[in-house]
Amino acid sequence: MKPQSLLSQKGIVLKTPSIKKILTRAKEVSPIKLFYGETYDHTGHTIDSMKYYFFVANLAQSLTQEGFKAEPTILVADSAACRNVSPELEHKYKRLGEGRAAFVLAVNKIYKTNLKVLKMSDYINTKAFQTELKKVMEICKANSGLMAKIEKSVPKSKLELERAKGFMYSFDEITTIMGLDIKVGPPREDLYDTIARQIAKIENSRGLISLFLTPTFPLGKKWDYFFSNKGIEHHGITAYKGGSKRLQNHRILVGRTQLDYAKELINSSFISTNPELPNPVLDIGLICEMARKRLEKNDSPVTLAQEFYSGNINPNQLKEKVSQSLETNVLSKF
């Protein structure tokens, strides 16, 4: 698939740099470093994470077809996840991180994604990372504007706690993405990316290029839920944490969610033909289409969103199609 076609997929890509900017970077560096990083929780592996795995793999494949060398990496931020839990839960969350890394490796094997899997604990204590971390912290602490952004990167409910900890979670995250070329993620991570670019500008080095995919929404909810929860309607929930907003019962968790329950969630979900409104059923369908195309070695763009919003598929047909595709292309593979 041509990079332009990949970046133009409706319902999957929310915001992208120009293809010229991406190709220019690919000409400047070899390999071009493609990246997606995530934490996790105790609920299981979300199908929504697979959208990012597939997209990073497809972007690497597309750039390789253009004659460039690409290095697609999925980071399992186990050290970051352990920072957010009590000391007695750290061992459990370390094991959960190993499980998430194993899940990505399973995706690699089933869908031939050729992704490099990296855990944060593999590098966070190395001399090279600690040296870079110290430099990043010094630059930020000497710049009131950057420190204001660091504080803004923390939820208000956790601001005092993170201030007491020296904002180490944020500094680890920012240091991790310094030196990358293209970072794929949800739009809520834009603040981290902006800080990394500003630091790169101060250091007179190449800045991070951000590419955002569409938000994740819970299944099995009616229209009034989104109407009364504006934050979720506009920004969605955390793709890689099944328990985000305590909505684990409204998520597809690969290896845990039974097909019958998944169908119940899909059939009870609100669907609008307005592309400006959340459409969690379509989101799942798009991920399943990405899965199908990789299984079939089909390099064409995903067009399900266009088919639905043009009226070629009605809401009931979409639900049936997504249920079938979910079973065939994802749940039955794990």
Residue 303 CB burial class (10 angstroms; 0-12, 13-18, ≥19): middle
Would you say residue 45 lies in a domain? yes
* 133-162: average pLDDT: 92
Lowest model confidence (mean pLDDT) among 15-24, 147-156, 172-181, 257-266:
147-156
| Dist CA 219 CA 201 (whole Å) | 41
Tally of domains in the chain? 2
- Give domain status of residue 230, yes or no: yes
Q: Is the pTM of this model over 0.75?
A: yes
Peptide bond into 301 cis (omega under 30): no
Q: What pLDDT is attached to residue 30?
A: 95
Q: Widest CA span of the chain, in angstroms?
A: 57
- Report the share of the chain in percent with pLDDT over 70: 100
pLDDT at 83: 87
Same domain? 164 vs 207: yes
Residues 137 and 175 in one domain: yes
Determine the pLDDT at residue 187.
Answer: 85
Q: Are 8 and 149 contained in the same domain?
A: yes
CA distance 105 to 108: 5
Across the range 14-23, mean pLDDT stands at 95
Letter for the amino acid at 205?
Answer: S
Which pLDDT does position 188 carry in this prediction? 83
Q: Regarding predicted confidence, which is higher, 139 or 187?
A: 139
pLDDT of residue 32: 98
Averaged pLDDT of the chain: 95
> Is the per-residue pLDDT at 14 higher than 90?
yes
Tell me, yes or no, whether 44 lies in a domain.
yes
pLDDT in tens, 37-65: 999 999 999 999 999 999 999 999 999 99
Q: Which of 13-22, 83-92, 191-200 has the lowest mean pLDDT?
A: 83-92
Same domain, residue pair 197 and 289? no
Query: Would 182 be classed as within a structural domain?
Result: yes
Q: Report the pLDDT averaged over residues 282-304.
A: 97
Assign 248 a pLDDT band (cuts: 50, 70, 90). very high
C-alpha to C-alpha distance for 194 and 138, rounded to whole angstroms: 17
| 52 plus 143 within the same structural domain | yes
The reply to whether 218 falls in a domain is no
Whether 103 maps to a domain, the answer reads: yes
CA distances 145 to 131, 161, 333, Å, are: 23, 21, 48
Residue 9 has pLDDT above 90, yes or no: yes
Query: Is pLDDT of 148 > 90?
Result: yes
| Tens digits of residue pLDDT in 172-218 | 999 999 999 999 999 888 889 999 999 999 999 999 999 999 999 99
Residues 280-297, mean pLDDT to the nearest whole number: 98
270 falls in which pLDDT band (50, 70, 90)?
A: very high
Question: What does each C-alpha distance from 234 to 4, 9, 120, 215, 228 come to in angstroms?
Answer: 26, 20, 30, 8, 11
CA atoms within 13 A on the CB side of 150: 28
Checking if the pLDDT of 221 tops 90, the result is yes
Please identify, among 154, 178, 213, the residue that sits at the C-terminal boundary of a domain: 213
**Whether residue 227 is found in the same domain as residue 311:** yes
Is there a single domain that holds both residue 265 and residue 288?
A: yes
Pair (129, 252) in one structural domain: no
**Per the domain annotation, does 140 fall within a domain?**
yes
Same domain, 24 and 166: yes
What is the token pair recorded at 189? 């991570």
Q: Which burial class, exposed, middle or buried, applies to 191 when counting CB atoms under 10 A from its CB (0-12, 13-18, 19+)?
A: middle
Look at residue 233 and tell me if it is in a domain: yes
- Nearest to residue 123, comparing CAs of 72, 181, 77? 77
Final residue of a domain: which of 158, 182, 213?
213
- The residue from 168, 187, 213 where one domain ends is 213
How many CB atoms lie under 10 A from the CB of residue 245? 14
Instruction: Check which CATH number belongs to the domain holding 209 and give it.
Output: 3.40.50.620
Residues 229 and 208 in one domain: no
Q: Taking residues 301-318, what's their average pLDDT? A: 97
Q: Between 144-152 and 127-141, two packed helices, what is the crossing angle to 10 degrees? A: 110
Domain hosting residue 247, numbered range: 223-333
- What is residue 234's predicted lDDT score, i.e. its pLDDT? 84
Q: Report the candidate in 44, 61, 59, 48 with the shortest Cα–Cα distance to residue 103.
A: 44
Same domain, 180 and 289: no
Is the same domain home to 157 and 191? yes
